[in-house]
Structure 1
């Protein structure tokens, strides 16, 4: 009887050991991991950013699928590319997934990183009189609806006790912000680097300045989201999973390779001057990291949803942030095994 009990315990231990090993190896078992030959994925990119990150880090050559890139200047345009079937994956900020959720676009988040530092903050127009966030009251502020920049403005207003009703919103394209500031058409707008450094350099001695964000003013999320249609195809779902793992590895590579990133991407690819490239690198004062979804990102997204809906955006629907995610991808990180590592036989 004791021998049977010992054998039973040994068998149970072996069974759970196998289950745990398989679970660790394959993560969520409902997420396919084998990428057949010939699978193609198009990623809707922003200024060659994701493409360069993957290539410079060496992760692009390790991708299991044939991944190509198409550039679009804003998150809403990348969403339209996915809607039209011209791309399966998009690289965006935190607001486009909410827009996709609200509009029923069947696009869900599959990867998230956070980059610490004042990468995207408010800049002011010449002679605007704005010295700090509370001075935004009654001012004309550039807004591009459906973008992370819109949420940054609203979070900073909230932090200083103001509301969107306390400003005069001027709807413009992101590329129009700097020129509108110079012309005095708006008093303030959110600019990312190197646009902010270039703009401020062009208006010296005019009182134009940059205003530091409040504590949670800029969340600096970088998100990959994907078409549900693509994710319903096992081959493409496996290719997207593999892409997310390599995308994570590429982001963490950048933490220790800022000089290479500056020279090869910012200067060579984006044609920035060394001075402008330095302003971009200096804005990323902290590390990029892979956050927990349940503990950090889903609560952040819900807060952004609530903030935007309180301001009159995305009316008529109750939006739950957890619905914006494909939870099979939760837990993936840079140490997760890629398709090639899981299936070395092909």
Structure 2
């Protein structure tokens, strides 16, 4: 889905225009107690968050009835929230910028940082791309409004390559692997487990994953939520409760490699054991909770990078407006509704 399409649809949601969230607000202003009968839907990807909460045991401890719906990219998860089909979304660092730019009424309420290499630029068979510098002049798959787009831009910048020196090809994230196999593009950022599956399918044909340039990967995973939900005290409390359990589930995962690989990566995602191990390594076993306030300048750097490349032009975007800082001090140790 293109940026032009998103901007056209944004007009239909003018009533949800994004308003800055007061940075002075304190977490204590969000009620801890969650009334009975509250329901939330989280826009998920590949059953990731649903599996994380279920396997960690945190799903059973949630105060609200939380269900999950899968969407293959951050922009699609944003659309689900805009349409009222979900109240929370799990995304990378770029979808909140798209939401901000298009006035979608969605703000960040939780964040973790993984320790592994994360998403990597992956090449097509026969592309002859060995290093990041070889991307100059090549056709690169881009999905506007995703963390994968920012990964490409950060690596190009670190390698001294301007966006004008490559050929961006706009595709859906789910199309990247097939486009690489068919030689329609020379490179794209593949997330796991898609990367492992793709590399197995073209084994021996010269395709490879290229490590990110030093310092270019933010490895941020955000939770964001609609302002409509956050303005309802009962839903805001349920979302607060979910964030705490989401944090606890991530720290559980750090010490639960064998179960995560066997029950999620192998049984749910249908990877073989070797590929599942590679997926685990891509995230690492030291996911941390940075606190939202510390991520504001990091998010601003991503905004500036995208705008310098020609995206999200015409507005001055301030990263602090993308966060609901009432949630900034929550951690795995914060009290949950049923504690």
TM-score by length of 1: 0.88
Partner-residue secondary structure (3-state), 2:77: helix
- Please say if residues 140 and 168 of structure 2, whose CA atoms lie closer than 8 Å, have aligned partners that are also in contact: yes
* Alignment-derived partner of residue 321 in structure 2: 323
* Alignment-derived partner of residue 304 in structure 2: 306
Partner-residue secondary structure (3-state), 1:339: coil
* Alignment-derived partner of residue 148 in structure 2: 149
Cα deviation 1:131-159 (Å, max 9, x = unaligned): 11111111000101110000000000011
* Alignment-derived partner of residue 168 in structure 1: 167
Partner-residue secondary structure (3-state), 1:265: helix
- Please say if residues 293 and 325 of structure 2, whose CA atoms lie closer than 8 Å, have aligned partners that are also in contact: no
Matches of residues 1-346 of structure 1 in structure 2 within 5 Å?
Answer: 28-295=27-294, 297-341=295-339
- Unmatched tracts of structure 2, length 5 or more: 1-25
- Please say if residues 110 and 292 of structure 2, whose CA atoms lie closer than 8 Å, have aligned partners that are also in contact: no
Cα distance, 1:286 vs structure 2: 4.6
- Please say if residues 124 and 210 of structure 1, whose CA atoms lie closer than 8 Å, have aligned partners that are also in contact: yes
- Please say if residues 64 and 242 of structure 1, whose CA atoms lie closer than 8 Å, have aligned partners that are also in contact: yes
Aligned residues: 314
- Please say if residues 89 and 225 of structure 2, whose CA atoms lie closer than 8 Å, have aligned partners that are also in contact: yes
Inter-partner Cα distance in structure 2 for 1:115 and 1:258: 14
Inter-partner Cα distance in structure 2 for 1:243 and 1:99: 24
Cα distance, 1:269 vs structure 2: 1.4
* Alignment-derived partner of residue 344 in structure 1: none
Partner-residue secondary structure (3-state), 2:112: strand
Larger Rg: 1
Mean alpha-carbon deviation: is it higher for 214-223 or for 302-311? 214-223
TM-score by length of 2: 0.90
Inter-partner Cα distance in structure 1 for 2:216 and 2:199: 21
Cα deviation 1:159-197 (Å, max 9, x = unaligned): 111121111000111111111111111111111222222
- Unmatched tracts of structure 1, length 5 or more: 1-26, 342-346
* Alignment-derived partner of residue 11 in structure 2: none
